[in-house]
Chain A
Amino acid sequence: MVDYVGAKPMLVVSLVLTAALQTASAFGSQRWYLTAVWAATRIAMCWCWPSAIRVVSHWFTAARIGIAMAVLSQAFYLGDAVSRLYLSSLIALGLSWREVFVAAAATTFAIAMLNLLLLRTEPPDGLLHEPDGAPSRETSSSAQSSSSSSSSSAVPLTSTTPPLAAADDEDDCEDRLLLQQQRPSSQQGTLESETEHLSSEAEQPSLSSVLQQLGCSPFFWSAVVWCSFNNLIDQVFLDWTPNMLQISLGISGALAGYTSMVRVAAERREEHLSSHSARR
């Protein structure tokens, strides 16, 4: 939906829905109710990450996308840690768990409004340039291998002949698909039939054609297998390492939490503060 409706509307809708569901969490205490509301919250939140990917992919050229995505993915963990510290401080101030949910909802809604007002999903034409001075590998290779893109090292990504248009990176499948996306139609040969739906710059490919190509792509399925195992180890390592260390080494919970970094340490703090406020 993000690719077809747009990143900004989906991001704002996602955040507003999340805020509404966080508020709803404060008005019930039955297990089934909280389970249902939390499941719905997770569904509402799931549009945020694809929206972020789409925004970043439009703001950065292929020469910088790696580092941009790396920073974005770290923001996910950093934001998680900061939000836990923020909510812990609210508990420390004496707010009940219901009030904490309402405060979290208000914060989420404020973030949604900020995105609505300030977020620019695409740069203005001509703004997205390769860095001046030392040319990137794309611009330098294009200058050497193609006359069609040799006029400038600062070509907008939105141009029909972007810096990547003639990049000579034939061994790299991903680069080839990206190249195919950005080549003028006159330069496309037999590759077009295999990649036109995924790669057309002129029009958005239909969802069915994208799914069809992904379904028969070893590249995609190998990424799914890799990502699944990596996700599993990420979840297990992040969530369970403190328990494993605590039980197997006999160390304290707090120390185990700090060992597995801020997130779990914050969880320990939340648990401690929750029990403290409950006692009060």
Chain B
Amino acid sequence: MSALLLGLLNDRFSMQVAMKAVLVFLALGVAILATIAWTILSVPASSSGLSIVLRSSVFSLVFAAGVTMYGPYSLTTATIPFRYAGKKTAATVGSLLDGIATLVSTASGVGFGPLAQSLGWAHAFFVLAGIALATWFGAFWHHRAAQSDSAKLK
């Protein structure tokens, strides 16, 4: 849903508008993941189980976090290569972008497991929120870089 919305914004308005929507989505994602972590941590360890309301809330938040995170990712690997490089070299730029990102995330993902285990699984969502925050800064840098490139080319 979010990918389609971002694609629509990109087509109807501009990439800059879509990027602003990306920043909003990612900021929401950070808040949602932090809320999930806080919700899980707020449950006493001795409690026998979660109420149906709390459980439904967590599930809804997980769904919302997915919505906010997958849309921006589709924009990076699909639309940006075309917008940046044009149709002649979109595949080259796209594969480089996705290839480097996959290598980096694979290497980082190896460290995530021990980190989550040492901190405790409930804290893993805080780590996820931290990664989402880093994603937001990456998108913000990209947004600014696009503007500065424009300024340089003028």
Contacts and interface: CB of A to CB of B under 8 A. Distances in A.
Interface residues of B, number: 89
A243 B72 CA distance: 24
B35 to A, nearest CB: 14
Q: Which of A174, A237, A248 has the most CB of B within 10 A?
A: A174
A53 interface: yes
Contact of B97 (A64, A223, A236): A223
B141 A225 contact: yes
Interface string B53-75: 00100110011011001111111
A181 B84 CA distance: 10
A170 B13 CA distance: 13
Interface string B88-103: 1111111111111110
A104 interface: no
A133 to B, nearest CB: 15
B15 A244 contact: no
Interface string A46-76: 1001110110111000111111111111100
A52 B122 CA distance: 39
B82 A57 contact: yes
Contacts of B131: 229, 232-233, 236
A7 B91 contact: yes
Contacts of A82: none
Nearest to A233: B131
B79 A65 contact: yes
A199 B86 contact: yes
B38 interface: no
B24 interface: no
Contact of B91 (A50, A229, A235): A50
A65 B142 contact: no
Contact of A232 (B59, B109, B125, B141): B109
B31 interface: no
Contacts of B146: 172-174, 219
Query: Which 10 A-B pairs rank lowest in CB-CB distance, beginning with the nearest?
Result: A66-B10, A70-B7, A226-B138, A174-B83, A69-B78, A73-B74, A66-B7, A232-B105, A50-B91, A222-B142
Given A74-B4, A172-B146, 4 more contacts: A3-B91, A70-B8, A230-B135, A259-B62
Interface of B: 3-4, 6-16, 18, 29, 40, 43, 49-50, 55, 58-59, 62-63, 65-66, 69-102, 104-106, 108-109, 112, 116, 121-122, 124-125, 128, 131-132, 134-135, 138-139, 141-142, 144-150, 153-154
24 contacts: A69-B7, A69-B82, A70-B6, A70-B8, A71-B4, A170-B154, A172-B146, A173-B149, A177-B85, A191-B153, A214-B96, A220-B93, A224-B101, A226-B141, A227-B101, A228-B104, A236-B109, A237-B66, A240-B124, A243-B121, A244-B124, A249-B50, A249-B55, A259-B59
